[in-house]
Amino acid sequence: MRRLAAFSLALILLCAPAGAATLTSSIESTALEMGDSVTLIISLSGGDSAQPPDLTALTRDFTILDRRRGSRQAVVDGKPVTVNDWVLTLAPRRAGALTIPAFSLAGATSAPIRIDVTAAAQPAKEETRPLFIDVTVGKGTVYAQGEIPVYVRVYDSLGMRSGSINQIKAEGASFREEGQQDSYVRTIGKTRYHVVQQTYIMTPQRSGPIEIEPVTLKATIPVPYNSSPSEMARMLGRGNVPMPWLDGSLTRGQEVSLHSDKVTVEVLPRPAQAEGWFLPARAVTVRQSWSGDPAKGRVGETLTRTLIVEAVGASPNQMPPIQLPDVEGLRQYEEDTQTKSAVIDRQQGAALTKVIAVVPSRAGTFTLPPVTIGWWNTDRKVQEQTTLPAVTLTVAALPGAAAPPPPQAEAPASGSTRSEDAPQPAPPPAAGSSVLTAGLLSALAGLGEVWSRLKGGDAGWLGALALGLALLVALAFAPALLRRRSRSAGGAVPARSRLGFAPSAVRAGSEQALIRAAKANDAAATYAAYLDLSRTATGRGLAEPAPRTAEFQAALRELRAYLFGAPGGRWDGKGFLAAWRKETGAAAAASRKRRGPEGLRPLYPEA
């Protein structure tokens, strides 16, 4: 798998178009007050530059308080790319409409961003303290199971020696940290604060008012040697009056405890006008991508379809399930469905990705119906729909194979000779199926043989009946074994292993299954094991790596023609196995050549 994965990555990088670099600028807010600071992220995707972008134009309206650089890996349009980030902390020099200019780097140009800066408001009395903690809820509406950001900020003008806050909590809601702590400078009135901010994502579990409990800051502050506790208390605003946000007396270097105010969040109920699955959002888009051209499909060859639904203002828990109807002549297998939080057009939202393997079983023209997502527009307060248009697939027959009518019954055959009366092969399993799938296919083939013996009055019918009962027992207990194995694995299951095995174990098991099936001339089980190997190698759906050798390319064509072509003929499992072994040898040689004489470790080592 390690060698095939490295080969697939090399193909992706070689096939990427030149000049595909993109440069983007993003900020967390476009509305500021004088004294606020803002974080600007300049991201170069798909390109590289040793020099940072020219910031001369930026310094006319902004002061750069801090700058740092980092790099990360991302997936853009299904392709891995390197993203270089320049993170700048800016403070506006004046009030008014300011513009973050366009930047140019590596042949790419970013778009300018307008920022509205207002004059600083008169500071509240409590904000004149040299040290305090504040909890603020992000703007916008929120529904049950939705998400809304909550910001916990510590304002420090004393220079804390150390500090910590307790876990934010509220009855009827859950919280998770979003990113790492951020720090910046803000001026309130005549006081300049160092601000430490932690962002949380709040997920309400019910509608109605939910109260966020006060967050406690425990800090150690510097105290002048000639200061008395009463003088420090007055400096912090305590005076001689007990204040709920400050507990305990102050001595030199002693810890203090500060508390934020309670904050109430109003969670809206589901509107009566909402229909079907409730997806509250400000905007919803649906798009798709294919591993190949749908207009150039071939019988038995897999096309991987990826559907992506993006909803601005929604949470992963609110993303709807997508049900795809059956289409006669096409076998559709769901490989994977993932939901996650995402930033969409510089706004927080959620994305759903669904991967489907589409395998044509006969030649012709087929139509995949439209995909419609219903959602509640939180801005307009109306129910809306977003639709992905229907897709037409044009499928050609395999060379030398007649285009048969749609098969009436499809079951795996155990022998190598097919006729009009022989059972037809089963469809290839989904890529998520494991090595056990090939074994179950072989078991079904054995049951077919048992039935043939009973039907023909074979003298060994008692033995055949016993074999059939044993196979039925194995099939009955297979789900329980799967569940038990999944529980024993524990923890998170690797995305490319549905039975809790490491990917290397899945590959080894699939190889053994392929060898056994090919030696037995079991075409359906051989193709099932081959698809498992393809999934392990590519890591994405049922997209199959292109064969390296002409022999294996021909062997695959013959296998598909036998499974999906006109009835009749024989399939040579030993010939397929010989071509497959030659293919794996060519892959190993190519991997050694890429590593070079020093034997460098692969970029993506095997888990």
Q: Which of 93, 92, 101 is nearest to 57 (CA)?
A: 101
Phi, psi at residue 582, to the nearest 5°? Answer: -65, -35
Q: Which residue carries 């390197």 as its tokens?
A: 82
Of 510 and 5, the one with more pLDDT? 510
pLDDT value for 360: 92
Give the model's pLDDT for residue 491.
38
Q: What is the mean pLDDT of residues 402-427?
A: 43
Number of Cβ within a 10 Å radius of residue 213:
16
- Whether 596 shows a pLDDT value over 80: the answer reads no
The two structure tokens encoding residue 439:
């074994």
| Tokens read off for 578 | 């010989």
Q: What is the mean pLDDT of residues 286-311?
A: 93
The most distant pair of C-alpha atoms in the chain lies apart, rounded to whole Å, by: 108
Pair 540, 577: CB distance under 8 Å: no
d(CA 540, CA 195): 43
Q: What average pLDDT score do residues 558-580 get?
A: 81
Average pLDDT over residues 172-191: 87
pLDDT at residue 12 in the model: 40
For residue 185, CA distances in Å to 163, 209, 367 come to: 17, 33, 58
User: Locate tokens 């998520």: which residue?
Assistant: 432
Residue 73 has pLDDT above 90, yes or no: no
Please determine, for residue 160, whether its predicted confidence score (pLDDT) is greater than 70: yes
Q: What is the pLDDT of residue 539?
A: 55
Q: Which of 97-101, 458-462, 503-507 has the lowest mean pLDDT?
A: 458-462
Q: Which residue has the higher pLDDT, 181 or 9?
A: 181
Which CATH number is correct for 277-396, 2.60.40, 2.30.29, 1.10.3470, 3.30.460?
A: 2.60.40
For residue 122, what pLDDT is reported? 61
pLDDT at position 243 is: 42
**Given this model, what pLDDT does residue 186 score?**
86
pLDDT tens column, 313-363: 898 989 999 988 999 999 898 888 899 988 887 778 899 999 999 999 899
Q: Lowest mean pLDDT: which of 90-94, 150-154, 419-423?
A: 419-423
Looking at the predicted structure, is the pLDDT value of residue 439 above 90? no
Of 510 and 156, the one with more pLDDT? 156
Q: What is the pLDDT of residue 529?
A: 84
pLDDT computed for residue 39 by the predictor: 86
How high is the pLDDT of residue 484? 44
Which residue from 540, 146, 130, 162 is spatially nearest to 353, judged by alpha carbons? 540
Confidence of residue 482 (pLDDT cuts 50, 70, 90): very low
Q: Please provide the distance, in angstroms rounded to a whole number, between the alpha carbons at the two ends of the chain.
A: 10
DSSP β-ladder status, 62-76 and 79-92 = antiparallel
- CA nearest to 334, candidates 308, 370, 294, 305: 305
Is residue 557 over pLDDT 60?
A: yes
Residues 60/30, Cβ–Cβ less than 8 Å? no
What percent of the chain clears pLDDT 90, i.e. is strictly above it?
30
Arithmetic mean of pLDDT over the chain: 75
Is 542 a residue whose pLDDT tops 50?
Answer: no
Given pLDDT bands bounded at 50, 70 and 90, which one contains residue 224? Answer: low
- Topology adopted by domain 21-118: Immunoglobulin-like (2.60.40)
pLDDT at 7 over 90: no
- Which pLDDT belongs to residue 561? 77
Amino acid at 496: R
Q: Establish whether domains 21-118 and 277-396 are of one fold.
A: yes
* Stretch 532-545: mean pLDDT: 62
pLDDT over 50 (residue 246): no
User: 302: closest CA among 359, 354, 368?
Assistant: 359
Whether pLDDT at 513 is above 80: yes
Q: Model confidence at 75, in pLDDT bands (50, 70, 90)?
A: low
pLDDT at 184: 85
Q: How many CB atoms lie within 10 A of CB 401?
A: 19
Read off the tokens for 25: 């600028």
C-beta neighbour count of 226 within 10 angstroms: 7
* Cα 544 from Cα 534, distance rounded (Å): 5
What's residue 342's pLDDT? 85
Give residue-wise pLDDT tens across range 265-294: 999 999 999 999 999 999 999 999 999 999
Average pLDDT over residues 180-207: 88
150 has a pLDDT exceeding 90: yes
Residue with more model confidence, 530 or 489: 530
How confident is residue 123, by pLDDT bands cut at 50, 70 and 90?
A: low
Q: Token pair of 192, please?
A: 């300049």
**Quick one: average pLDDT of 91-97?**
89
**pLDDT of 177 over the 60 cut:** yes
Q: Is the pLDDT of residue 538 over 60?
A: no
Comparing 85-94, 466-475, 511-520, the range with the smallest average pLDDT is 466-475
Give residue 381's pLDDT band: very low, low, confident or very high (50, 70, 90): very high
* Stated pTM of the model: 0.50
Handedness of CA 398, 400, 403, 404 (dihedral sign): negative
- Of 25-29, 167-171, 258-262, give the lowest mean pLDDT range: 25-29
Q: How far apart are CA 174 and CA 176, in angstroms?
A: 7
Average pLDDT over residues 112-124: 79
* Domain limits, the chain: 21-118, 125-267, 277-396, 425-607
Per-residue pLDDT, 260 = 93
Phi, psi of 575, rounded to the nearest 5 degrees:
-65, -40
Q: Which architecture does CATH list for 125-267?
A: Sandwich (2.60)
